[in-house]
Amino acid sequence: MTDLSLSTASATSIRADVLVLGVAATDSGPVLLGADSLGRHVGELADRLEALGVTGAADQVVRVPAPAKWSASTVVLTGFGDLSEQSAEALRRAAGAAARSLGGVAHAAFALPASTPAEAGAVAEGVLLGAFSVGSYHSSPTAPLATATVVGGKGKEIAAAVSRAATVAAAVNGTRELVNLSPGELFPESFADRAKALAKKTGVKVEVLDEAALTAGGYGGLVGVGKGSPRGPRLVTLTYKPRRAAGHYALVGKGITFDSGGLSLKPPKSMETMKSDMAGAAAVLHTVLAAAELGLPVAVTGFLALAENMPSGTAQRPSDVLTQRDGTTVEVTNTDAEGRLVLADALADAVALSPDAVVDIATLTGAQVVALGDRTAGIMGTDSARADVVAAADDAGEDAWAMPLPAELLDGLKSPVADLKNSGDRAGGMLRAGVFLQQFVGETEWAHVDIAGPSYNEHGAYGYTHAGGTGFGVRTLLTYLEQRSAV
């Protein structure tokens, strides 16, 4: 990860290869932010913004020579968007867009608004997320920005905000790395092994149930989904339990390490990104580890429901009936509706612990993308938990939208041969999947986060978001846990 430091020195005096400055868009043209603190030579730059094609639009990054007598030889101008709509997320995104453009640079100083803890944390987080290196399989990868200095305020609160940002960014980037791995390298057993390795010396306890233990324990969803692959399923339980915990929260992540659809085979094009079908489990893993590193005063139990959904002579078939961990029987009508089956088993274990609330996160339905697009998660659940998670997402800067769970959709999940069937009509597919999961949480406070769209970026990079795994959900879950611990 990029080395990060704080400085209160004059931005123009810091010895860095690149100085990053912010530009906002206004009705009267682009405005250089913080120009008053940049000395008498700043006019050379501020007066030429429009001539340089700088608009201040979000995600615009323009590199120009620095004015005479500035220590840095190059200036990067990063767009903030509309000055009247500034937010921590706009600051995070502007810093990230600049950092993303600085691959191979040894040292950059970021002289963006950072005089408060919230601002400094947003800049630091954006820098570290933007500087993430995607190309782990490239024979000659471009090195990310090596060192970054955040120029701004000082004090314990600002230092604490930057330290938190570093932990959060490491968790998001760790999630991205897992999502970007080849499914030939990341499968249920190796995922579980990585979880154990990452948890060493963190205070987080890890328990792994293999296929034999899952079969003996009645985890019919995990066993059924994993039957088609020679690489069997796993259930990983992560336990973080600080002294005098203010509450207990359970997180459940879908971890389908590759989803072919099983015998209900997906079209080839739809399989191209299905290594990312474990993004929910990756987010839960790194959220629990980050909660431990931050020393949050709440107990957190994470469940990673891991399986590989493949077609073969041993794969589960449409019309098979399985028994979930809690005894509910489910007729499998579509083997590509597998995520809800593995989540149901893990949810049963989660609610058995009687936590204050359960939050599951999953790349669950293509219907989520149809309804909300590529960047916005759908959040369902009990009224209170849903509202809390939506509020956390808003504070964290992740796009999410509250969705209902219409009771009438349950009728479409009734089976003539079992308690439920795992799929129904296409209409309301995201909500129908949520209604299915609702049957496994009883009276427990619960939220379901569908991240099918925002978990993986198939398009061009923007802000601090690269192509590939995005790490979506980690910031929301951590913010949720922080807010719950403060209640």
Residue 245: the pLDDT is 96
Report the C-alpha gap between 464 and 102 in whole angstroms. Answer: 12
In a domain, 200, yes or no: yes
Catalytic positions, please? 266, 340
B/e letters for 332-369, b = 16+ CB within 10 Å, e = fewer, are bbebbbbbbbbbbbbbbbbbeeebbbbbbbbbbbbbbb
8 A C-beta contact, residue 473 and residue 174: no
Which residues make Cβ contacts (< 8 Å) with residue 318, sequence separation at least 6? 263, 264, 332, 333, 334, 335
Of the candidates 349, 356, 328, the residue with the CA atom closest to the CA atom of residue 245: 356
Q: pLDDT confidence of 484, banded at 50, 70, 90?
A: very high
**Same structural domain, 428 and 352:** yes
Asked if 169 and 125 count as a contact pair (C-beta separation under 8 A), the reply is yes
Q: Please, which pLDDT band fits residue 135 given cuts at 50, 70 and 90?
A: low
- Give a yes or no: residue 371 inside a domain: yes
Taking a C-beta distance cutoff of 8 angstroms, is the pair 448, 469 a contact? no
For residues 266 and 397, membership in a common domain is answered with: yes
Whether residue 199 is found in the same domain as residue 254: yes
Could you give the CA distance from residue 437 to residue 232 in angstroms, rounded to a whole number?
A: 23
Same domain for 122 and 183, yes or no, is no
User: Where does the pLDDT of residue 106 fall: very low under 50, low under 70, confident under 90, or very high at 90 and above?
Assistant: very high
Q: CATH no. for residue 71?
A: 3.40.220.10
User: Which of 84, 116, 151 represents a domain boundary (last residue)?
Assistant: 151
Q: Which of 114, 136, 151 is the last residue of a domain?
A: 151
- Does the pTM exceed 0.85? yes
364 and 446 share a domain?
Answer: yes
Do 186 and 138 belong to one domain?
no
Q: For residues 354 and 1, give the distance between their C-alpha atoms in angstroms, rounded to a whole number.
A: 38
| 196 and 227 co-located in one domain | yes
| Alpha carbon separation from 396 to 46, 92, 247, 289, 298 (Å, rounded) | 32, 10, 21, 18, 19
Residue 197 sits in the same domain as residue 300: yes
Ramachandran class of 101: left when φ > 0, alpha when ψ lies in -120 to 50, beta otherwise: alpha
pLDDT at 268: 97
Give the mean model confidence (pLDDT) for residues 80-84.
88
Using only C-alpha atoms, the chain has a radius of gyration, in whole angstroms, of: 24
Q: Minimal CA–CA distance to 398: which of 78, 93, 131, 84?
A: 93
Give a yes or no: residue 156 inside a domain. no
Domains contained in the chain, number = 2
| 142 & 195 share domain | no
Q: Does 477 fall in a domain?
A: yes
Q: Residues 242, 358: contact at Cβ < 8 Å?
A: no
CATH assignment at residue 441? 3.40.630.10
pLDDT surpassing 90 at residue 410? yes
Tell whether 159 is covered by a domain: no
User: Alpha-carbon distance 471 to 279, whole Å?
Assistant: 7
- Percent of the chain past pLDDT 90, that is, above it, reads 92
Is residue 123 domain-shared with residue 212, that is, in the same domain? no
Q: Is 399 within the bounds of a domain?
A: yes
The answer to whether residue 366 is domain-embedded is yes
Q: Give residue 113's region: left, alpha or beta (phi > 0; psi -120 to 50).
A: beta
Residue 166 lies in a domain: no
pLDDT score for 1: 81
- Buried b / exposed e over 271-295, threshold 16 CB at 10 Å, is eebbbbbbbbbbbbbbbbbbbbbbe
pLDDT(352) > 70: yes
| Whether residue 323 is found in the same domain as residue 283 | yes
* Same domain membership, residue 239 and residue 126: no
pLDDT value at 167 more than 90: yes
Q: Which domain holds residue 126?
A: 3-151
